[in-house]
Structure 1
Amino acid sequence: MAFDFLVPVEDKVLAHCELLPAQAIGRNTYIHTANDGLPVLANATVAIFGVRESRNAFEKKNEKLDVSAIRLQLYKLMLGNWNVTLVDLGDLEEGETVEDTYFVVKEVAAGLLEENIIPLILGATQDITYPAYRAFDGIKDMINLVAVDSRFDFGIHDELISSHSYMSKIITDKPNNLFNFSNIGYQSYFNAQEEMDLMERLFFDAYRLGEIANDLTLAEPVLRNAHMVSLDTRAIKASEMGLSPNFSPNGFDGREICAIARYAGISEKVAAFGIFEMENNMQSQQLVAQIIWYFIEGINYRIKEDPYNKTEDFTKYNVPNEEGELVFYKSLLTERWWVEVPSIFTSHTKDETPALLPCTEKDYLDACNQNIPERWFKAYKKGFN
């Protein structure tokens, strides 16, 4: 069984836990130890595990990812007022080949998904997104993947999979379960024009760093529609990550990336979350621990909302336009917005009702001014392709 490949959390981390106050995360997490073995997964909400595989790194790693140091920072943070159960499964070391590592990551993540437990993967390199995405095979038909990343990571067609080209493999590999890919935080000078053209051709969504930094709420509907989120910490500015040479002067700051992680947690669809490309320095480890904290905080505030089921909790807006009309819904509880998209996924809905696409109030206001929201247009076109 794939879980047998998980290495227990190091003794030094466990010793540190003993010194923590009762309210600390480390004292309230079920941990894989050498003495007691794997924790019981029953009733678990989130399962953390590290992946120390780095052979497909685009920039070669000089040292292994120190997941224990991230745990030391995470465990000493205080619990929120949460109703979640955390388990720490330990780490996966490198397999004999990279493919062996991928196989085990896929199997571990799939085992957790089947139990409705959210895998929270701490990976040395972002190509680990690929086996985590493949873990949905046979569990969910179509996947919406969101990457928080300064690059699209399509790479070159004949290039072997690396942390800069894993998306090409996701797009081309069978079975092709990817319905939509969204990027949050790309920086134009890191991406070839051909990659931007490909995003347009496939009706994928991309949001520039400046666009999101100016209005973080733009990220919320994107993440609300995601099944998996892959966060490349190189989307964060170097000054926030300990001034490592592998990071850029431009990027999200600590507050922004934590807010994005919280949006990912709040999304009731997000079933897997990965953080990749961290550095082995104290500031990086502290920030990653805080990103995890905010993701878990978000999970605690999840609310399942469906405008079709509880109509009394929503206000419905019909907006006429040249094509007919757009139908929007606003939640009276959370003030979140949705818009109907005809044809998209109709074969997957029993009564042929239009799919509901998360959107913003600005999309509604644009529609009132006879401007079709771009996210609606892309989803509508994709329904016919």
Structure 2
Amino acid sequence: MNFNFLTPVPDSVITHTNLLAPQVLGKKISIHSAQNGIPDLTGVELAIIGVLENRNAAQYIGETVHLNEVRKALYGLFPGNWHTRIADLGDIEAGESVTDTYYALKTAVSLLIPKGIIPIIIGGSQDLTYPIYRAYDALMPMVNIANIDSKFDLGDSTQAMKNTSFVGNIILDEPYNLFNYATIGYQTYFNAQEEIDLMDKLHFESYRLGAVTNNMTLVEPALRDANIVTVDLGCIKGSEVSLNQQESPNGFDGKEICTITRYAGISNKVSSFGIFEYKPSSEDHLTTGLIAQMVWYFIEGVNSRVKDDDFTSAHTYQKFITLVEHQELVFYKSIKTGRWWIEIPFSDEVNNKLKRHTLLPCTHQDYEDACNNNVPERWYKAFQKNCV
């Protein structure tokens, strides 16, 4: 694989790592260095890529992005009892234009995923989600995105793309490959009512911050169903990050965001993961430490994956059938993990692209709601999209 557009991890980071204990993560992973070049990716399952691009941030004022302190924090953590091989491929520098950076990121993701390697992307502005999404054009017919964010980022897609409007471009730009978009942790006062109404009209999912923090398991099915998971660091409570990174007094705390990233790692479908809107600061130990721990928990989740969504053998699952408003709902429960799915019927006239979405992750509560004659909301939204 040709990754000549990637720059190596700075020598200062590698020198710092050499002074750490021999068991730390930085000494267990393969690192792209100036001395040794890009590491052999044979057997690698996770690849870290930095993207030093933030020029499409709505609030861009000429600052640059670097990830040296993030890497030092991550490399200094001790790995769990992991079986996956990890590589750090270095950075994609800001190109001559933002489009050049997008192309490099799209190329990197499209090369890694077919090899069974999950890219972990850490970068500047969140519009970088767009080239990640476009990398899937040749990989799969339909894509699900879960975005942990206080805002929907729908914006005005008729204007130049920004980190506040990239989702509008994803929805409207051809080819149309987006099946579901879920926003986790949105805060109502940061979103126009028109955007909230549009999310509902498009049958996309949205989970308010308060609902999620009251019950973290609420969002596990949406993350289990996602191909791409991205985190906007603006969703973090201001007291949890450094002064330069603070955006709101309300948001997820460190434990909650790490729970979410672990859910993302456990998902068998998630094949790319990104953390964006990092604003470097020389005194920023809180933010870099939190990013490192978010990545750690994602890797921990990947190492805890269980193949429990193959329902070809009757010995691996239980099947439950309920009747709700004259509609037969079919549920499946994995015997291995206890996780639940619900079947989404589709019409023969519907675009074949959607047939792969006939099994939808859900919760035990959804089954109980169906038994009480209440249609699960996730099922209803997916069913409506299948009927379009």
Q: Does 1:94 align with 2:82?
A: no
How far residue 115 of structure 1 moved from its aligned partner, in angstroms, is: 1.1
Q: Does 1:41 align with 2:44?
A: no
Instruction: Name 1:328's counterpart in structure 2.
Output: 331
How far residue 143 of structure 1 moved from its aligned partner, in angstroms, is: 0.2
Instruction: Name 1:72's counterpart in structure 2.
Output: 72
Instruction: Name 1:262's counterpart in structure 2.
Output: 262
Pick from 292, 308, 311 the counterpart of residue 311 of structure 2: 308
Distance 1:298 1:48 in 2: 16
CA contact (8 A) 1:344 1:354 kept: no
SS at match of 2:44: coil
Instruction: Name 2:130's counterpart in structure 1.
Output: 130
Q: Which amino acid aligns with 1:292?
A: V
**Percent sequence identity over matched residues?**
48
How far residue 311 of structure 1 moved from its aligned partner, in angstroms, is: 2.0
Aligned pair in 2 of structure 1 residues 98, 7: CA closer, same or farther (>3 Å)? same
Instruction: Name 1:248's counterpart in structure 2.
Output: 248
Unaligned runs of 5+ in 1: none
Q: Which amino acid aligns with 2:335?
A: L
CA contact (8 A) 1:344 1:379 kept: no
Instruction: Name 2:292's counterpart in structure 1.
Output: 289
The CA deviation string for residues 301-342 of structure 1, in whole angstroms up to 9 with x for no partner, is 111123521321222111122223211111222111111110
CA contact (8 A) 1:2 1:104 kept: no
Distance 2:14 2:108 in 1: 23
Q: Which amino acid aligns with 2:202?
A: L
Instruction: Name 2:271's counterpart in structure 1.
Output: 271
Q: How does 1:1-385 map to 2 (within 5 A)?
A: 3-61=3-61, 63-244=63-244, 246-280=246-280, 281-306=284-309, 308-343=311-346, 348=352, 355-385=358-388
SS at match of 2:251: coil
- TM-score, normalization by structure 1: 0.96
Aligned pair in 2 of structure 1 residues 354, 294: CA closer, same or farther (>3 Å)? closer
Aligned pair in 2 of structure 1 residues 23, 179: CA closer, same or farther (>3 Å)? same
Distance 2:197 2:357 in 1: 29
How far residue 246 of structure 1 moved from its aligned partner, in angstroms, is: 4.6
Distance 1:2 1:38 in 2: 10
SS at match of 2:113: helix
Aligned-residue CA RMSD (Å):
1.8
Q: Which amino acid aligns with 1:332?
A: I
Distance 2:356 2:109 in 1: 32
Distance 1:38 1:353 in 2: 36
Unaligned runs of 5+ in 2: none
Distance 1:80 1:310 in 2: 32
Aligned pair in 2 of structure 1 residues 11, 184: CA closer, same or farther (>3 Å)? same
Q: Which amino acid aligns with 1:271?
A: S
SS at match of 2:243: coil
Q: Which amino acid aligns with 1:191?
A: N
CA contact (8 A) 1:144 1:181 kept: yes
CA contact (8 A) 1:54 1:61 kept: no
SS at match of 2:158: coil
Q: Which amino acid aligns with 1:154?
A: L
How far residue 54 of structure 1 moved from its aligned partner, in angstroms, is: 1.0
CA contact (8 A) 1:3 1:108 kept: yes
How far residue 250 of structure 1 moved from its aligned partner, in angstroms, is: 0.5
Distance 2:48 2:245 in 1: 28
How far residue 243 of structure 1 moved from its aligned partner, in angstroms, is: 3.4
Q: Which amino acid aligns with 1:252?
A: F
Distance 1:131 1:300 in 2: 27
- TM-score, normalization by structure 2: 0.95
SS at match of 1:4: coil
Runs of 4+ in 1 over 3 A off after TM superposition: 243-246, 344-350
Q: Report how many aligned residue pairs link the two structures.
A: 384
Which deviates more from structure 2 when the two are superposed, residues 61-70 or residues 179-188?
A: 61-70
